[in-house]
Amino acid sequence: MKAPGRRNVSGLYVRKGFRQFRQTVNGTLFRLTQTFRRAPEKLLVAPSDIRASDAFLGEEILNGRITLAGRTLEFGDVSPFSVEMPSPEFEARLHGFGWLRDVRATRSEVHYQKAQDIAKDWITAYRGPDETMAWEPEVAALRLTAWFSHSPVILKGAPLGFYRRFLKSIGLHIEYLKAVAPGAREGLESMRVRIALAMATLALPASAAAIQRAGAALDRELDFQILMDGGHVSRDPRAILELLMELLPLKQTYVNLGVEVPSRLIPAIDRMFPALRFFRHQGGELALFNGATSTLATELVAVLRYDETAGQPFKAMPYMQYQRLASRDAVLIVDTGHPITPETSAKAHAGCLAFEFSSGKHRFIINAGSPTNGPEEYRQLARSTAAHSTVTISDTSSASFSRFADLGMIVTGGVAQVGLERTEDAVDGEVLVARHDGYKDRFDLIHERTLQMKPGGVAIRGRDRLMKSDLSEPDPNCGLLAVARFHLHPAIQIKVVDDNEVLLIAPDAQTWSLTCFDAPVVIGEDVFFADSSGIRASQQIEIAFDAGTVAEIQWLLSQKSRFRAS
């Protein structure tokens, strides 16, 4: 299938120029109006925050220690903004003020005072937009929404002078975000800017016209970013969860104030719930595709409790381009697409036809995922085809990446079209046949994968086939080595049966075997990028074959009786 709304990379330059022009004009107007800008009169409401909080982390802040993005900063009695940052991710989260929810969880006025002091430090140090991380549009938007939601923490017992300074800084944020909104990067950044601006019209005194304009701008963003099947334009399952955690409080604030809700907001949320369930394994974890990383069970529970439908997951996400095969306790989730737009592919992975497999509460076969924190080179390594449970040819990824100054490392080539057929009957169960052309330009080869889930979910048959673009057999002398990889969750143990079979054993002794008679089954070292505690060692299964002489391998995943160690 061809992805809806796919854009040519050449058009990036035209759109970039137009965005920069609009942002320059708005930025000039922003600077001219600052002299005459009046601070908002007062705060009207403090919107809810449904993200998980940790009172222990809030306690630590009082002791001059803050933990964010997997790093801890000791700042003692000085401002945390005056200390060298341990990582860019830490710095972004510190400036985003999301840690206020942890302080709020302490329910302690002493801790609230500490948060107020840190907010004073920030307002003193950052009096106006500059080129630092603090004023990245997405960071500024997250900070504004955090300030609104946790204003009872920051303003508890605050003197009138600070209250006025706080409101003045809020007014500065609003005007700044209005100025940069037209040039914000497509995806989460532009959505978060619009969410913050819509929230501002509710949390502060605003005219009906201003509320309507902000809602209309949010509607346009929802129309573009939330697909008809409820997926996100980035194709990242985690993005659905992130946006629901921000859109749900916004919707509730509209409702609580008796203000007309933007017309696209509720329908978008209603579509997103089934999409989120689509990517959820039965153990509660989200599938690791296209930038998704570890997800706390509390995060999913916090969001899904607002889902009034609680229906079964869809079998397919045709717009987001994924397929799901499920029978009883077995679940297969398969990536059958490619980036929808170049601009939203900054976190996209080269994982076409990769799948994840879970049985009961355990994930057996996964993708390596994206690191929550860590060096940039790890993030790029996690995007390679070799980090996914699919086939690589000649150690080459099925997508190519190029770096743009304002967009980052985006996908600029590779998979352009994915073919797909799906059938289901009582005898064969569910059968998915998909093929992609990501290796066509470099090797004149098409990768076709067949996945068959037998009735009852007790066996999955797989076939990986390589063929030329005219569907003929590859050249016997092509000399290309193909490798089918099956990345295993770190909790899964492996027991070798022989050269062609291994057992995959879950912590509760649930056991599946992986068998292939067309080539040896080899155990290899691996890394799991998406662990909540950081990058950790894991294992993978590799089935290597010569693309010219074998061209096709078949393998079988079958459930066994529970394994007991002797």
The tens digit of pLDDT for each residue in 476-507 reads 878 899 999 999 999 999 999 999 999 999 99
**What span, in angstroms and rounded, lies between the C-alpha atoms of 226 and 239?**
10
28: region left, alpha or beta (phi > 0 left; psi from -120 to 50 alpha): alpha
Tens of pLDDT along 160-205? Answer: 999 999 999 999 999 999 999 998 999 999 999 999 999 999 999 9
- pLDDT tens-digit map of 311-362: 778 899 999 999 999 998 999 999 999 999 988 999 999 999 999 999 999 9
pLDDT at residue 365 greater than cutoff 60:
yes
pLDDT higher for 425 or 312? 425
Residue 557 in this model has a pLDDT that exceeds 90: yes
- Which residues sit opposite 554 in a β-bridge? 463
- Which residues, in sequence order, are bridge partners of residue 392? 483
Q: Please report which helix (H) or strand (E) contains residue 110, including its range.
A: helix 109-125
Domains and CATH numbers, the chain: 40-183 (no CATH), 186-312 (no CATH), 321-560 (2.70.98.70)
Q: Of all residues in the chain, what percent carry a pLDDT higher than 90?
A: 74
Q: How confident is the model at residue 16 (pLDDT cuts 50, 70, 90)?
A: low
Closest to 174 in 3D by CA, of 44, 39, 42, 47: 39
**Structure-block tokens of residue 330:** 């077995």
pLDDT of residue 372: 79
**Is 177 within 8 Å of 197 (Cβ atoms)?**
yes
Mean pLDDT to the nearest integer, 506-516: 95
In angstroms, the CA 106 to CA 28 distance is: 43
Give me the residues paired with residue 357 across strands: 332, 365
| pLDDT surpassing 90 at residue 470 | no
**132-168 pLDDT per residue, tens:** 999 999 999 999 999 999 999 999 999 999 999 999 9
